[in-house]
Amino acid sequence: MRPPKIKNNQLEFAPYNHTVYQIFPTPFLRGELRLPHQQVAKDCEFLIGEIKKFDDDPKRYYTTYFHENVREMMRNTEWYTSFANQIKDTYIDFIRMSYDMKVDHLSRNDIHLFAWVSVWEEGITHTYHNHQDCLISGTYYPVNEGGQSIKFLSPNVHAQHPYGGQRIQDYKLDMPNTKGIGSGHSHIEMEINPTCGESMMWPSTLLHAVSEQQGDYRRVAISFNLKHNDPLSHTEDGEDLSYEFLQY
């Protein structure tokens, strides 16, 4: 039995005066590194070529993440020092401006930078994941000729509520080369198409993924994790004791 129809001819739609605000934003950094992007890409492709000489697993040979000896070779390139300087300085600026963190006690050598190369091929994909034991993660794209995107999942659990996803559609955003999936005020997912030379940084807890792309394309990426150690306080409670005797 159908419910009775409501006649609206005598009713008035009367919401009270209100404003809708966006709260709990996630800081997300985008910019372009000052590097010879084509040379960086060429060197990265050389490193992946070295891995393919002894690893035939396509799920592993596209990245230096699993191959520490080859990953370390990147540090000997002509551009790596400039890359590290720019990444670390931008990290400091990011956490200072976005999180109001104290940084004046730090130097570049106080910052941990772990970077690895990925050269994407047809059939390679990376499901949603985040990065542990670090503060900020990011990726630099010396080449992204195929325009393959990177996706980010909303950290807002309410945005992922079933009722929030009943009308999933693309929304154009003010951010370049970006679209939001969901509603105008409750994006479930963001999809960004990086340009050649672009670099991004985001909180390491943010879930992100790369979908499989079909066909020939050239996509070279250097991903990285960053963190630093703050000096400890209140360490002198109790009597001091060296744990040297607990060596294995």
pLDDT of 165 over the 60 cut: no
Between 34-38, 77-81, 180-184, 197-201, the lowest mean confidence (pLDDT) is in 180-184
Is 113 contained in some domain? yes
Residue 76 lies in a domain: yes
Contact in structure between 228 and 161 (CB atoms under 8 Å): no
Q: Which of 214, 212, 206 has its CA nearest to residue 189?
A: 206
Q: What is the pLDDT of residue 192?
A: 93
Q: Which range, of 60-74, 144-158, 163-177, averages the lowest pLDDT?
A: 163-177
pLDDT in tens, 8-49: 655 788 889 998 787 888 999 999 999 999 999 999 999 999
Residue 81 in 3-state DSSP? helix
95 pLDDT more than 80: yes
Which two three-digit tokens encode residue 49? Answer: 């070529």
C-beta separation of 165 from 188 below 8 A: yes
Nearest alpha carbon to residue 24 among 136, 116, 155? 155
Domain membership flag for residue 170: no
pLDDT greater at residue 247 or residue 153: 153
**pLDDT score recorded for residue 86:** 97
CB atoms within 10 A of CB 188: 17
Query: Domain containing 76: what range?
Result: 29-125+136-144+214-228
Kindly provide the b/e burial profile for residues 78-108, where b requires at least 16 CB atoms within 10 angstroms of the residue's own CB.
Answer: ebbeebbebbbebbbebbeebeeeebeebee
Q: Write down the pTM of the prediction.
A: 0.87
Could you tell me the CA-to-CA distances from 20 to 17, 28, 41, 161, 182 in Å, in that order? 10, 22, 45, 19, 17
- pLDDT at position 164 over 80: no
* Alpha helices per DSSP H over the chain: 37-52, 68-73, 80-99
- 118 pLDDT higher than 80: yes
Distances (CA, A) of 234 to 16, 105, 110, 229, 230: 52, 18, 21, 16, 13
User: Amino acid letter at 204?
Assistant: S
Assigned domain for 91 exists: yes
Cα–Cα distance, 110 to 139 (Å, whole number): 21
Whether 4 has a pLDDT exceeding 80, the answer reads: no
**What pLDDT does 1 receive?**
62
Q: Among 200, 241, 104, 18, which residue's Cα sits nearest to residue 190?
A: 200
Q: What domain count does the chain have?
A: 1
pLDDT-wise least confident of 31-40, 110-119, 234-243: 234-243
Q: Does residue 82 lie within any of the structural domains?
A: yes
Residue 172 maps to a domain: no
Distance CA 76, CA 54 (A): 21
Total Cβ atoms within 10 A of residue 148: 19
Residues 168-192, mean pLDDT to the nearest whole number: 81
